[in-house]
């Protein structure tokens, strides 16, 4: 009974305030703008993706007139844009979205998209950022004086003098504020989904499970911000002190800790520069030439004939050199992943960072999507190489030797055509819902743990709170 009355009281006191109306209106407007901006952005990126795919299909078909051309053709492989970018855009336009690859190697991640340095300089308008910046501020602005403010005007003393349990006060205030904040969020999300429902480019029925998963994390994030404000309010006597501490806590969790994570990870994992790797490759290549089984000799009289001992030495040298190059460049990319993983693990000390990476996991954008894409590329490259090797074995005019010298090697490869339809085709597959849930489960549990600790801390602090 007491809890219900406190809930109604909290809603009535705040729902008509200019502060709430302004911020709630802003939330709804931003959700509507997000629907239109993200839809337009997705259509633009999807059109760019399809254009690259069509151009690449045409180029590859032309190379299929001769098997050796396919072996050396630099295939452009691009990540398909995420339909869930409205959840977390995660600077998708600033991250590499593809690679070039042939039989021998995979390039470093590259950019295959229009460059728009002006509009992409602003903070992405997505659900995660709306919650991260505006909703967190709304939560703190409503809860920072929920207890310390009522102590000043004696309301809290009057309530407790009527034998209202302190647990009921905390539960009622939290539930009332939580319900109040969820009103504009739900309105904004419903409007957004309706706009997306009307778009033919978005299969909204495939997106709904991911929206539901994000909604779960969003509830915990809203609760976390409210409980942070209530805890600080129960530890202070003056509203202005509460507000100052709330802002400090927000800055530490949202800015300081995530930024420090990168500084820490750079000390933990050292990444070699491009120049130093090229120097290592050159040095190791020179060391190979000092061995008897390798050579760089070549003669024009070798062309079209069975590989001589001299040619085999050159082929073995080039294959070994390519192996060294692939290993060193791959190791550098793995170090980059390792460094980023360390930065993320450190940043996850902050529940705000946990929520941000939770959104990236669900939307398959940002670092999470980029890493998943690169792993698929590696698997596809192995499949692509195996296919070409197996097909080469069927050609009688081939000496079955592969090495990365496009001006020379084709003379010992087949000149026969290859069926384009038989070639392996790369199709990016975003993680399904089960896999996404498995990855996001730890973030949800971490946010839940934070909420439980904050609620317990708020309750203990309020039990000891002097309302006089």
Kindly give the residue spans of alpha helices, DSSP state H, lying in 269-365. Answer: 274-289, 309-347, 351-363
Look at phi and psi of residue 90 and say left if phi exceeds 0, alpha if psi is from -120 to 50, else beta.
left
Q: Over 90: is that where the pLDDT of 355 sits? A: yes
Position 374 confidence tier, pLDDT thresholds 50, 70, 90: very high
Q: Which of 133-147, 265-279, 299-313, 440-454 is predicted with the least confidence, judged by mean pLDDT?
A: 299-313
Tell me what pLDDT residue 117 has.
Answer: 43
Look at phi and psi of residue 79 and say left if phi exceeds 0, alpha if psi is from -120 to 50, else beta.
beta
Per the structure, the complete domain to which residue 91 belongs is given by 2-261+352-463
- What residues contact 46, with CB distance under 8 A and at least 6 apart? 80, 81, 201
- Report the mean per-residue pLDDT for the chain: 87
Placement of tokens 């509009």 in the chain: 119
- For residue 363, tell me if it sits in a domain: yes
Position 266 confidence tier, pLDDT thresholds 50, 70, 90: confident
Domain count, the chain: 1
- For residue 336, tell me if it sits in a domain: no
Q: Which of 121-135, 155-169, 238-252, 349-363 is predicted with the least confidence, judged by mean pLDDT?
A: 155-169
- For residue 225, tell me if it sits in a domain: yes
**253 is written with which tokens?**
């969790």
Q: CA end-to-end span of the chain, whole Å?
A: 25
Q: Over 80: is that where the pLDDT of 18 sits? A: yes
Using CA atoms, how far residue 329 sits from 105, 204, 343, in Å, is 10, 40, 21
d(Cα 59, Cα 76) in Å, to the nearest integer? 10
- For residue 410, tell me if it sits in a domain: yes
Q: Over 90: is that where the pLDDT of 150 sits? A: no
Position 454 confidence tier, pLDDT thresholds 50, 70, 90: very high
Residue-wise pLDDT for 288-337, tens only, equals 888 878 888 877 777 778 888 888 888 999 999 999 999 999 999 999 99
DSSP secondary structure string for all residues of 24-39: HHHHHHHHHHHHHHHH
- For residue 334, tell me if it sits in a domain: no
d(Cα 149, Cα 152) in Å, to the nearest integer? 5
- For residue 304, tell me if it sits in a domain: no
Tell me what pLDDT residue 263 has.
Answer: 83
Quote the percentage of the chain above a pLDDT of 90: 49
- For residue 8, tell me if it sits in a domain: yes
If you average pLDDT over residues 385-389, what whole number do you get? 95
d(Cα 331, Cα 347) in Å, to the nearest integer? 24
- For residue 65, tell me if it sits in a domain: yes
Which candidate, 88, 90, 91, 61, places its Cα nearest to that of 73?
Answer: 61
Q: Measured at the alpha carbon of residue 170, what is the angle toward residues 165 and 176, in degrees to the nearest 5?
A: 120
Tell me what pLDDT residue 121 has.
Answer: 46
Residue-wise pLDDT for 270-296, tens only, equals 888 999 999 999 999 898 888 878 888
Residue-wise pLDDT for 67-107, tens only, equals 999 999 999 999 998 888 889 887 666 778 899 999 999 99
Torsion of CA 221, 225, 231, 236, to 10 degrees: 170
**102 is written with which tokens?**
């042939």
3-state secondary structure of 202: coil
């Amino acid at each position: 009974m007491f809890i219900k009355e406190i809930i109604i009281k909290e809603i009535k006191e705040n729902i008509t305030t200019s502060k709430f109306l302004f911020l709630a209106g802003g939330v709804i407007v931003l959700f509507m703008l997000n629907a239109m901006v993200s839809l337009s952005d997705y259509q633009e990126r999807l059109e760019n993706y399809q254009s690259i795919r069509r151009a690449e299909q045409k180029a590859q078909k032309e190379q299929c007139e001769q098997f050796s051309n396919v072996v050396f053709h630099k295939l452009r492989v691009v990540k398909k844009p995420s339909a869930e970018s409205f959840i977390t855009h995660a600077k998708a336009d600033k991250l590499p979205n593809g690679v070039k690859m042939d039989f021998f190697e995979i390039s470093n991640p590259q950019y295959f998209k229009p460059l728009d340095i002006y509009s992409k300089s602003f903070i992405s308008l997505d659900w995660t950022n709306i919650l991260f910046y505006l909703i967190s501020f709304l939560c703190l602005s409503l809860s920072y004086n929920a207890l310390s403010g009522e102590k000043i005007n004696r309301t809290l003393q009057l309530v407790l003098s009527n034998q209202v349990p302190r647990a009921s006060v905390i539960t009622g205030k939290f539930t009332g504020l939580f319900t109040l904040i969820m009103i504009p969020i739900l309105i904004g999300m419903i409007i957004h989904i309706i706009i997306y429902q009307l778009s033919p480019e978005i299969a909204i029925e495939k997106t709904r499970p991911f929206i539901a998963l994000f909604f779960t994390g969003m509830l915990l994030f809203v609760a976390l911000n409210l409980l942070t404000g209530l805890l600080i309010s129960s530890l202070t006597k003056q509203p202005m002190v509460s507000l100052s501490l709330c802002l400090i806590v927000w800055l530490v969790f949202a800015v300081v800790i995530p930024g420090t994570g990168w500084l820490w990870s750079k000390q933990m994992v050292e990444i070699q520069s491009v120049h130093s790797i090229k120097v290592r490759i050159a040095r190791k290549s020179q060391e190979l030439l000092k061995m008897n089984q390798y050579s760089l000799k070549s003669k024009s009289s070798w062309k079209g004939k069975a590989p001589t001992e001299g040619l085999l030495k050159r082929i073995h040298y080039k294959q070994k050199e390519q192996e060294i190059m692939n290993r060193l460049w791959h190791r550098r990319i793995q170090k980059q992943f390792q460094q980023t993983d360390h930065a993320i693990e450190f940043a996850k000390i902050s529940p705000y960072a946990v929520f941000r990476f939770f959104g990236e996991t669900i939307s398959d954008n940002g670092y999470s999507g980029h890493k998943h894409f690169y792993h698929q590329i590696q698997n596809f490259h192995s499949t692509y190489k195996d296919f070409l090797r197996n097909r080469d074995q069927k050609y009688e005019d081939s000496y079955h030797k592969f090495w990365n010298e496009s001006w020379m090697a084709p003379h010992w490869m087949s000149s026969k055509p290859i069926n384009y339809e038989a070639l392996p085709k790369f199709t990016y597959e975003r993680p399904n819902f089960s896999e996404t849930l498995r990855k996001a489960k730890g973030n949800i549990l971490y946010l839940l743990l934070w909420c439980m600790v904050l609620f317990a801390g708020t309750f203990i602090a309020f039990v000891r709170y002097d309302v006089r």
